[in-house]
Each structure stands twice: as structure tokens, then as C-alpha cells.
Amino acid sequence: MISLNVNQKVYQVDADPNMPLLWVIRDIIGLTGTKYGCGVAQCGACVVHMNGEAVRSCITKVSRAEGQKIITIEGLSANNDHPAQLAWQQIDVPQCGYCHSGQLMSAAVLLRENPNPTDQDIDEAMSGNICRCGTYLRIRKAIHIAAEIQKTKTKTAI
């Protein structure tokens, strides 16, 4: 059995240690918000956070995730109110939506490490997340909006 901490809940999982973390999250634990895109770390649809980093769960073996803190799109915020989620909703970023859990998870890391990202910062953080609908311009706009929301939230908290 492998012990996994996903969205602050501990799961005992009976899986091959070489199984991709994505399969465990989706098929065993049942959290299907994280998507399968390419299976070879090329598209970003499967991004989850492992100890706060935006790892690609399709090629991350579940053995690497054991004992680490995993956050999926379902655990990004308590009420779907992460600044990136609010911004995504505000300007209706998704078209088909398939890639956007990965997009949001990557954007969340960017916003944490750089609260005021420029267009170039956004490109450097997000270019590994592919969107076949081509929503890139809205993604960029939403990240700028999310940065503003984040600042307001921080001020309010102070």
C-alpha cells in the first residue's frame, strides 16, 4: 500500500509504484478534474502541485509522490475562490475547458512566486500548458486580473 496525501487527505492506495500519479488520482482516488492529455509531459493538462511545484502527473510515478503533499484542481481552494479561479470565471477563459485545470494549477504557482507578473513572466511560466482552443490571450489577461485580485485579498487580510 502506498500512502498519498492528496488535498490534505491521506489515502492508502493499492497500486504499482510505477503507476503514473495521474492514474491514481483519477482512477483510484476518483478525482477526475485533472486531465490526461499527451502522457509524455508535453501538454500540461495533467499538472498538479507536489509540495507546491507544478509537476506533470502523467509521468510522475506514484512512488515519487508518496509522503509528499499533492494538491489537485479540486483542492486548489476551499470554495473555487483562488484568485486565478475567480479571474478565469470573470472573463470566461475556457472554451472547451479540457486543459484549464492544468492551466490554473500552473498559473497558481506563477502567482505565488511572482505576484505581479509581466506578459513575459506569464509566457515563461505558461508556455508549457497547451490549449488547442487557443485561449492564450484570455489566459494572459486572466492572470493579470488574478494578480490584482490577489493584491486586494492580501490587503484585506492585513
State the residues that interact with another protein by CB under 8 A: 40-42, 47, 53-56, 59-61, 64, 105-107, 109-110, 113-114, 121, 123-129
Instruction: Select from 56, 91, 95 the least CA-distant residue to 72.
Output: 56
- CB of residue 93 vs another protein: minimum separation in angstroms? 16
What does each C-alpha distance from 122 to 5, 63, 115, 116, 142 come to in angstroms? 29, 31, 11, 10, 11
Closest to another protein by CB, 13 vs 59, is 59
Compute the least distance from the CB of residue 59 to another protein, in Å.
5
Smaller CB separation from another protein, 106 or 135: 106
* Shortest distance, position 122 Cβ to another protein, whole Å: 9
Question: What three-state secondary structure class fits 71?
Answer: strand
Shortest spacing between CB 91 and another protein, in angstroms: 20
Complex with another protein: residue 51 or 80, whichever CB lies closer: 51
> CA 127 to CA 119: how far, in whole Å?
11
CB closer to another protein, 3 vs 127: 127
Output the smallest distance, CB 97 to another protein, in A.
19
Please identify, using beta-carbon distances, which residue of 80 and 127 lies nearer to another protein. Answer: 127
Q: How far is CA 55 from CA 71, 91, 153, in A?
A: 10, 26, 26
